[in-house]
């Protein structure tokens, strides 16, 4: 863990004022506060800006700046915070299958997640899966349904892999598959470079943002803004102008975009 991580600034950024020890209560509270305060967003890949994973850059962007980030940024920052508190954390890599049809070949490891060991038990702590943000740590226990405040999850065994599934629309939907092999900084560097620069990867051509609170899940995909409330109600609207996009980024996600909003809107409206 780098010596220059500002834990106080991070806790203030996520609005956390409780006790902070390496225990499950703290881990659960930090996870919920993080995803509510620091949105998932893909604005840098979309606008051709480099995505940096060094701790200074992450703190400048996600802590001191009014920005979010995607999985590599989010989970690198969260790992630094957990390690500063005293948690034992291992970085893992996953293969995303959220949009894949059944039986499709697996792709590369392009998602970062964390394993956190607490009092002899292991938990998944992932604050960066933008297709379906998680609000709570999940026990590394196969075949057991795990309800959280906003969703239901389950880990399944698939050969030598573990598959995380979320209950959605009356069925279980796989999110990603992974194993417990620790990832090296070089593994993340290569995956981060590909996901932030490849014209074949969705983040370089699509605006994606998500924020999860105890009351609602907010998703923005290009100009489509969806709000799914915990009482089951869903509302959706299309953002018809740059002003509408600016208002949503500001009020819903708390994002100050890195380029003029008119430029962003032109990109996503064309898509």
Catalytic residues: 71, 111, 126
| 216-221 and 171-178 strand pairing | unpaired
Give yes or no for a contact between 69 and 43, defined as CB atoms under 8 angstroms apart.
Answer: no
Give yes or no for a contact between 97 and 109, defined as CB atoms under 8 angstroms apart.
Answer: no
- Long-range CB contacts for residues 93-96, cutoff 8 Å, separation at least 24: 93/178, 93/181, 93/183, 93/187, 93/188, 93/191, 94/164, 94/176, 94/177, 94/178, 95/176, 95/177, 95/178, 96/131, 96/175, 96/176
Give the residues across from 156 on adjacent strands.
Answer: 163
Say how many C-beta atoms besides its own lie within 10 A of residue 242's C-beta.
16
144 CB-contact burial (10 Å; exposed 0-12 / middle 13-18 / buried 19+): exposed
């Amino acid at each position: 863990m780098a010596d220059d991580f500002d834990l106080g600034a991070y806790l203030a950024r996520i609005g956390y004022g409780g006790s902070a020890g390496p225990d499950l209560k703290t881990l659960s509270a930090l996870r919920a506060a993080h995803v509510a305060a620091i949105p998932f967003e893909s604005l840098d890949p979309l606008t051709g800006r480099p995505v940096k994973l060094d701790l200074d850059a992450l703190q400048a962007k996600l802590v001191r700046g009014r920005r979010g980030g995607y999985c590599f940024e989010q989970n690198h920052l969260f790992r630094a915070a957990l390690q500063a508190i005293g948690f034992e954390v291992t970085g893992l890599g996953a293969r995303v299958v959220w949009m894949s049809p059944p039986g499709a070949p697996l792709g590369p490891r392009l998602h970062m997640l964390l394993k956190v060991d607490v009092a002899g038990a292991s938990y998944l702590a992932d604050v960066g899966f933008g297709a379906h943000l998680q609000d709570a740590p999940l026990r590394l226990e196969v075949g057991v349904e795990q309800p959280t405040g906003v969703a239901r999850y389950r880990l399944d065994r698939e050969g030598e892999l573990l598959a995380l599934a979320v209950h959605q629309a009356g069925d279980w939907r796989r999110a990603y598959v992974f194993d417990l092999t620790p990832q090296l900084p070089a593994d993340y560097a290569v995956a981060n470079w590909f996901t932030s620069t490849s014209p074949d990867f969705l983040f370089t051509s699509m605006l994606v943002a998500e924020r999860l609170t105890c009351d609602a899940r907010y998703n923005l995909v290009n100009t489509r803004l969806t709000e799914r409330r915990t009482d089951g109600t869903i509302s959706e609207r299309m953002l018809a102008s740059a002003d509408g996009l600016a208002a949503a980024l500001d009020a819903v996600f708390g994002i100050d975009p890195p380029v003029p909003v008119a430029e962003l809107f032109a990109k996503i409206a064309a898509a």
